[in-house]
Structure 1
């Protein structure tokens, strides 16, 4: 079974030029947890998923369900209208 979430975390982390340690510091977990997420041995808590999605500029749905390598790196930014993220 394909580990979309883990692949996305790894791909997005690398796009930002971050090490596992650096990402772990940003979301409040240890480096080993990032490795576990990327390898599919652990599932992040919702709070960590939300923090990662916000940091990487993707929706929770994209982070969890979409192969982000298919998303254009220069995709137009989401516009925030009345507190809701829109595409």
Structure 2
């Protein structure tokens, strides 16, 4: 059974995989993922923190929420393509 990582963002989090919560050793994402995907993962977390209200959890517009959800689905697909042979991934929006 492969380890499963959750793809999600929480407030003030800059990396959207829950690898910090699982037992060591943490994956060497720099060797496993392309730099482009890593950049997109960080950008997705930044988008969340820039646009989500910490009190209400609302994005301020339906378009922003849709953009966030769509990018999450695309990131999940890319993670599965690049590292699905090593890990399982689950998107939590």
For normalisation by structure 1, the TM-score amounts to 0.31
Higher helix share goes to which structure?
1
Higher-Rg structure is 2
Higher RCO (CA 8 Å, separation ≥ 6 residues): 2
